[in-house]
């Protein structure tokens, strides 16, 4: 998949995320493959609508595999094309072909190519201000996700999806935990939602102006991205735990490994 929040280049997103998946499925069918595992995303499942605004508090619910997709109104190519891939694959399986199993990882924690994630984090956390939002998010260790993809191939039930998520945490609490590991006092600022909405509106008008003038540019901040703050990205992996034996490690363990550059068990540090 092409993982990016930019709003432009919908054609490329569709070609990679949607047609890439369906083309692979058709090739697998032609080759007589028995089972096809689609690595999707929790974004293709949807998110939990917040009812407490900018205030802290627990999410209304944890989204699971049966959660009704509620993000179609947002013009965010990554989300729309990953959801479309699932829907198109389901249609293809109805006409016969490899068994389809879908896994939906949450935000994956993994080392960067440089291997110095501590240095990168220290540089970012020394900024004058860090935005502290109360939205919930779910993070999972890539070392727990990768084996579960194989397990889903072997033991997953055809026509089912499995959320592969770790701990749920608010964005603000995540900053505080990272700061504790780095031993840095963060300057966290609770940005008023109205200010964020205004900034998104201004960015949208700027992008419209650039588009009319024929100037091509990357669009990474826009009103629909701001609307993601209306949701909690909190998920339950109970189905994967029960049926696949999924046992993700604690978030703090993954964070400590990552921020001390001791993330072992990947190709960087086998």
What is the pTM for the complete model shown? 0.93
Q: How far is C-alpha 237 from the chain's CA centre?
A: 14
Q: Provide the pLDDT confidence category of residue 150 given band limits of 50, 70 and 90.
A: very high
pLDDT value, residue 114: 87
Task: State mean pLDDT over 21-50.
Answer: 97
Task: State mean pLDDT over 34-56.
Answer: 89
Task: State mean pLDDT over 80-107.
Answer: 97
56 has a pLDDT exceeding 80: no
28 has a pLDDT exceeding 90: yes
The residues, any chain, with a CB within 8 Å of residue 199's CB and separated by 6 or more, are 221, 226
CA distances from 56 to 132, 133, 170, 190, 201 (A): 11, 9, 8, 11, 25
pLDDT value, residue 208: 86
Task: State mean pLDDT over 58-76.
Answer: 93
175 has a pLDDT exceeding 90: yes
145 has a pLDDT exceeding 90: yes
Tell me the helix, strand and coil percentages in the chain, rounded to 5.
Answer: 45, 15, 40
Residue 168: phi, psi to the nearest 5? -95, 135
Task: State mean pLDDT over 48-68.
Answer: 83
More confident residue, 208 or 31: 31
In the numeric block, the tokens 């300057």 are attached to 187
73 has a pLDDT exceeding 90: yes
Model pLDDT for residues 188-244, shown as the tens digit of each residue: 988 899 999 999 999 999 988 887 776 667 899 999 999 999 999 999 999 999 999
Rounded percentage of the chain residues whose pLDDT exceeds 90: 80
Strands 136-141 and 167-170: antiparallel
pLDDT value, residue 100: 98
Q: Where do the DSSP E strands lie in the chain?
A: 35-39, 48-49, 99-105, 107-109, 130-131, 136-141, 161-164, 167-170, 188-189, 231-232
Taking Cα atoms as reference points, which of 160, 140, 151, 102 lies closest to residue 235?
140
Q: What is the DSSP annotation of 121-137?
A: HHHHHTSS-EE----EE
Burial class of residue 245 (count of CB atoms within 10 Å of its CB; 0-12, 13-18, 19+) = exposed
């Amino acid at each position: 998949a092409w993982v990016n929040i930019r709003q432009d280049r919908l054609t490329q997103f569709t070609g990679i995320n949607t047609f890439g998946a369906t083309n692979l499925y058709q090739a697998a069918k032609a080759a007589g493959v028995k089972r096809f595992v689609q690595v999707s995303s929790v974004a293709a499942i949807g998110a939990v609508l917040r009812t407490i605004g900018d205030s802290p508090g627990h999410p209304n619910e944890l989204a699971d595999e049966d959660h009704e997709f509620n993000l179609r109104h947002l013009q965010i190519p990554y989300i729309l094309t990953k959801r479309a891939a699932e829907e198109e694959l389901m249609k293809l399986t109805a006409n016969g072909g490899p068994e389809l199993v879908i896994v939906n990882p949450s935000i994956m924690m993994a080392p960067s190519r440089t291997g110095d994630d501590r240095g990168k984090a220290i540089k970012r956390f020394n900024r004058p201000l860090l935005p502290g939002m109360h939205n919930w998010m779910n993070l999972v260790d890539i070392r727990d996700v990768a084996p579960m993809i194989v397990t889903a191939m072997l033991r997953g039930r055809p026509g089912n999806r499995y959320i592969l998520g770790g701990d749920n945490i608010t964005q603000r609490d995540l900053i505080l935990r990272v700061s504790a590991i780095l031993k840095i006092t963060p300057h966290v600022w609770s940005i008023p939602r109205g200010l964020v909405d205004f900034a998104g509106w201004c960015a949208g008008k700027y992008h419209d102006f650039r588009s009319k003038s024929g100037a091509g540019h990357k669009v990474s901040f826009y009103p629909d991205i701001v609307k993601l703050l209306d949701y909690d990205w909190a998920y339950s992996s109970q189905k994967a735990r029960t049926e696949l034996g999924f046992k993700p490690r604690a978030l703090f363990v993954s964070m400590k490994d990552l921020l001390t550059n001791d993330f072992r068990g990947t190709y960087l540090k086998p």
